[in-house]
Each structure stands twice: as structure tokens, then as C-alpha cells.
Amino acid sequence: MRFAIGDTDFLLDGEPHRVLSGAIHYFRVHPDLWQDRIRKAKLMGLNTIETYVAWNAHAPSRGAFSFDGGLDLGRFLDLVAAEGMHAIVRPGPYICAEWSNGGLPYWLFTDGTVGVRRNEPGFLAAVRGYLEQLAPVLVPRQIDQGGPIVLVQVENEYGAYGSDPSYLRELEQMHRDIGLTVPFTSVDQPMGTMLEDGSLPSLHKTGSFGSRSVERLARLRQAQPTGPLMCSEFWDGWFDSWGEHHHTTPASASAADLDDLLAAGGSVNIYMFHGGTNFGFTNGANDKGVYRPISTSYDYDAPLDEAGRPTEKFHAFRSVIERYAPVPPLPAAMQPGGSGRLDVAVDAGREARPAPVADVAVRLDRAASLGSLLPALTDWSAHDEPPTFDALGAASGFVLYRTEVDLPSGGVLTVGTEVRDRAVVSVDGVVVGVLEREHHDRAITLPPVTGTLELLVEDQGRVDYGPRIGEPKGLIGAVAVDGVPLARWTASPLALDPIAPAALSVLAATEPTDGDVLAGPAFAAGSFDLAAPGDRYLSLDGFRKGVAWVNGFCLGRYWSRGPQKTLAVPGPVLRAGRNEVVVLELHASASRTVCLLVEPDLGHTEA
């Protein structure tokens, strides 16, 4: 088959074709659930699945590249093809996506000489190596070779970042050099000169917007007089940041804008069809003067919620789509009021009939201080001054810094430039305060102490948008007390994603204790039984801030400031019989009981 760009339409084997696509990021969904999410997109009336490719997920360290497990992009695309659907792939190299560092590997910038998103030899050489790794996955899966891929996007909203056609030409040629032959696209907001700045005449321009469709398409047509109109990011919701409200968009308003777009003859990629979750430490952040880390949930108020269940928006969009294209029959499980669960693993035509489930309370009866588990979590190194995460080879998570001090009268601790992003400060094992990037904190008073000073620093998410992409993490600048720099540091990343097996063994061997409170930083663990696995939501009511795991799988960060109050636990992570939950609480908890809930709680909305 052939896919091409005509004067007015996309052409599939020479015939006009409308792209009806939905975004599913394979790296935000448990791989055992990919088929379920893809099939539900088809049931809404979509004919295409779009995904970014997260370079930093595939290449966590220099010289490493993986397509294993949840990163098996080839398998994901094959599942798309098995449903008779097409695929749009957006390799970046920059993707934004509210993902850590916008998808760019942290190690790319450790020596300070490599450029960011520009025509610079070091950056382009790394990108070429990345694309060469993708070639065996993408090239044979193009539509003209019998695969599902019909479009590939070059860069991502570049017009909002820069205007360098030489850079874009180099990227385009690299994509061609690895053997990609399908049409190439660009995407930008139809505002100002972004469409022109972020593209080339050889790239088909598409728009990104979520409202005022007629007006946005008119601006797109002005920038590109011929060719099919396409909104390749139709924003049907929005992401959440810690400390803000849970964003929602009325289904009726989004459906009306989608109707306007399709009535104008446009093609669409719904962003997101299914958002998923920022498991582990993968969330990004924004910094436009104030640092704002993205929440763990990436529900996005999408047509398919974080657990893969159809929402009001699913049915509203499906009703719009069926005015313009045929849609398949909707199984009873996907009808309003249905379970929303399809038994795709057993029989594609048969609906699951899950047994009734109930919330499960779990007492975390085993507790151990962070300090007691450090031998299982650390690999110390010595430094004259605090190293960055990047210098230590830590992409994300936590680094513990230590030095010995002699302060008989106390003093004021200062960090020279910035804390990136949050530091719990302790002296001789007693927490004295917190330094937060979000509050621009750089100083804290220390009590009299002769002993060990510790700073437990958390990377809360690398900036994914704007000029601060690629910046290092940790304690930036000299650390001093009363103006005198502190020397002779030891530092270590904490092995938390995945959590070190030795640490889990220590927790498993810890004797249960009574009590309802937890003094952090500390780990707590508990066991629970399930008759059968299924999607659940971990509620940590009474806990303040930290990280949670179930059966060794890192669910991600929790924070009492919200908005989200539960962490998604994918059904494939759970098992029939005995299961284990572990929590790292950084501060203190008024409870040592957590709950596995049947329903999520993503927090308060603006209304």
C-alpha cells in the first residue's frame, strides 16, 4: 500500500483518506494492556494510533539502548497493525509530552558542550545514533513495506522554541538516511509565526490546538495553501501539576470543537486518547519563573481514563466521528454504565465478566528507617564539592549527600545557585528543614552540631519545555555554612527504580511492629491478598510525600498537596494471592494503613 499527501487530502493507494487518530504512549501504559487500549481506540471510531518515542527511556545511559518489555515499540506497532489500524510515529528527538527532559537523555549534556535542539555537531551526532537504533523497528513497519506506519513527525513544536531551518534540514535528512519513506510532518500551534518557524517546505505542516478549530485551521491554511488540513494534537484535556487542580474539559465543548474540525474536512490526532501514567520518576516539569513538577497521573481527562475505561468524552467523540466515518459496533461492556473491560487476552469477541471486587486496607506493619537500608541502596563516592546527579550517572530519583561538620553555634547553610529540586536537610539523623526549588529556597538555619550533615535531594522531574531543557540536577553551586564552603563530601544515588532487591529483603525480614504513625525518612511495608488481579488505586491518606511500589513495581510519587489522591496500580502488576506494598515516606505519616481502592481519586477540579 501507499500513503501520500495530495493537493487536498491524504491519499491511501490513490484514494482520499481521512486520518482519525488517537494518542497512546506505549511508555505510559503497562505492555500487557497495550492491546486493550488500541482496541478501544478502534471502537471509538479511530483508524490510527499515534505515539511519541521517548529517547531517554530507551537509552537510560550512554551506550545503552533497549526495546525490552514496556519499551518494545515494535510489538506495540504490531498490535496496532493487528487491529487493522495505521500508526503515526513521532521520534522527536525532542517530544515534550510532559515527560522528563522532553525525552532527551540527561547524559547527552553532561560535558556542557552539546547543544540542545540546534544545528550543533555533538547533538546531531547523538541524534543520528538514536535514529539508527530506531531504524530496524520503524523502517520495515512502514505502510509501503506492509506495516502500519503512515506518517513520521520530525522534531516537535519547534516553532515555539527556535527558528533554525538548517537544523530541521539536517534532522529531515537523517530520517531519510535511515530508510524512512513515508510522508514527514511538523506540528506547531497556529499562532504568530510558529507554523513557519517550526517547519520546512518539505514537511507537511499540521496544527496543535484544542479549541476554535475553524479559526486555527484557517491560520494553518494560510501557512500552507495546499494539502490536507490536520490537527495532529487536538487537546481534549490537559495535564496536572502538583499543587494545582485536576484539569478537566467539558465533553460537550470538546466534542463540538472536534465536530467543527471534521466538518471542515480536517484529519485529527486526539491528544490524548488514553493518557496513562508517569510511572517511576518519569514525569517532566515546567519552569517559567516558578518550577512546577508534573503529577504522576497523566489521565489528561481523555476519552479513556487512566485505568482504560471509557468516559463521557469517549461516547461524545464517538457520536461525532460516526457522522463522518463508519464506526464498529460497541460491545455491552463499553456502553455507558458498562464495565469498560474487554477480555482481549482470551477471546477478542467475548467480554470479561470480572468478579465483584472491594477496597482492600493494608497495614504497613514493617518499618525501617532510610538510614538502616542505605547499605542496600547506595554506592558511595568521594568529592571535593557536591556533584550533580548527572555527574553521578543518576538520571532521576534521589541522591544523598553527606559531609562532616563542626558547628558548636550552628549556622546558616546556603546553596550557591539553586536546589534542583528539593532537599531534606538533616543533622545527625534529625531533619531540620526542607529547601524547595519551587519556593526559590537556598538557605536554612542549622542548629549546633558536631557530626554528619545530610541533604537528601530529589529530582522532581526534569524540565520538558523551554530554555531550561537539559539542565543538570542536584545541588548547583557551592554549599557553604556562614559563607565558608563545605568540602569532603560523599554522595550516592539511591537505587529505587527498580528498588534494590537487597532492600526488599531487609524489609521482608523486619519484624512487624505496632503503632499508627511513621517518622521519616523511612520505609514501610505490608502484605495483602487478592482473589484475582485487576486494576486498583493506591490511596495513601495520612501520608505526606514519597514513593510507592507494589510487588517491586514503582508506581511513582505521591504528595499530599495533590491534586491526585491515588496512584494507579495496573492489573498486570498484581497477582492472585499474596502481594506486597512498600512506601518510602520522606517526612511523617499519621497512619500506617494504605488502601487498594476500586475507584481512582484524581482530586479537586477548578469548578
Catalytic residue among 50, 98, 233, 454: 233
Positive or negative: CA dihedral 125, 130, 131, 136: positive
3-state secondary structure of 334: helix
What angle do the packed helices 501-509 and 370-377 form, to 10 degrees? 140
Are 480 and 413 spatial neighbours (Cβ–Cβ below 8 Å)? Answer: yes
For residue 326, whether the previous peptide bond is cis, meaning omega lies within 30 degrees of 0, is: no
The residue among 334, 512, 486 whose CA lies nearest residue 405 is 486
Classify each residue of 151-169 as buried b or exposed e, where b means 16 or more C-beta atoms within 10 Å of its C-beta.
bbbbbbbbbbbbeeeebbe
Task: Give yes or no: 157 in active site.
Answer: yes
Distance CA 94, CA 161 (A): 11
Task: Give yes or no: 322 in active site.
Answer: no
Positive or negative: CA dihedral 157, 77, 46, 37: negative
Distance CA 153, CA 228 (A): 15
Helices within 293-437 (DSSP H only): 312-321, 370-377
Are 289 and 259 spatial neighbours (Cβ–Cβ below 8 Å)? Answer: no
Catalytic residue among 83, 155, 157, 172: 157
Q: How many CB atoms lie within 10 A of CB 276?
A: 28
Spacing of C-alpha 524 from chain mean position: 26
Quick one: which H or E segment has residue 262? helix 251-263
* DSSP-derived pairing of the beta strands 284-287 and 291-293: antiparallel
Q: How many CB atoms lie within 10 A of CB 549?
A: 24
Q: Compute CA distances 511 → 11, 374, 507, 522, whole Å.
A: 67, 18, 9, 15
Distance CA 489, CA 387 (A): 9
The three cell numbers locating residue 400: 544523598
The residue among 177, 189, 182, 192 whose CA lies nearest residue 88 is 182
The three cell numbers locating residue 375: 547499605
The residue among 558, 544, 545, 548 whose CA lies nearest residue 602 is 558
- 532527551: which residue's cell? 104
Q: Compute CA distances 431 → 221, 427, 515, whole Å.
A: 59, 7, 21
Q: Compute CA distances 327 → 39, 41, 202, 207, 268, whole Å.
A: 12, 11, 34, 25, 16
Distance CA 390, CA 136 (A): 30
Q: Which residues are catalytic?
A: 157, 233
